[in-house]
Amino acid sequence: MQAASLDQVFAALADPTRRAILSRLAGGEASVSDLVAPFSLSQPTISKHLKVLESAGLVTRSRDAQRRPVRLNAAPLEQAAGWIGDYRRFWEASFDRLEDYVQTLRQEEQKS
């Protein structure tokens, strides 16, 4: 699968209905009509949402079967969650440098 941009992933996630669809799919694959019922939305509306999710790489639809079940694809979500972890990496990198600097300060203190 072509990696979707994070922008696309976040834009897809910005809609509550699409997040609800993903939550539903986390419980297992579903057909479009399976999805229509709980959301009280029309089939075209659901299909539109699925299209957005599909182009963000968040869901896949099998080509073979008549009913074309929709499946969740976890990879982009993991990638997005990983990006949130960047803040932690920022601190970890600072702490690496702080560790070195603290030793410098300590040596200075011992000398004086």
Partner 1 sequence: MNQDEERRSITVTRDFDAPPSILFRAHSAPEHVRRWFGPKGWPLTLCEMDFRVGGKWRFAMTGPDGKQNPAFGGEYLDIVPDQRIVYDNAFELPGAEKMVTTVTFEPLPGDRTRLVARTVFANLAMHATHVGAGIESGINSGLDQLADVVAELRGAQG
Residues that bind partner 1 (CB under 8 A): 6-7, 9-16, 19, 22-23, 26-28, 72, 74, 77-78, 80-81, 83-84, 86-106, 109
Nearer to partner 1, 42 or 94 (CB): 94
Angle between helices 16-26 and 6-13 (to 10 degrees): 100
CB of 112 to partner 1, least distance (A): 13
Nearest alpha-carbon partner for 22 in 52, 43, 63, 62: 52
Judged by beta carbon, residue 3 or residue 14, the one nearer partner 1 is: 14
**Which C-beta is closer to partner 1: that of 11 or that of 36?**
11
Return d(Cα 9, Cα 3) in angstroms, integer: 10
The whole-angstrom separation of Cα 23 and Cα 30 is 12
**Residue 112 to residues 10, 101, 104, 107, Cα–Cα distance (Å):** 54, 17, 13, 9
Instruction: Give 27 or 66: the residue with its C-beta nearer to partner 1.
Output: 27
To partner 1, the closest distance from the beta carbon of 43 in angstroms equals 24
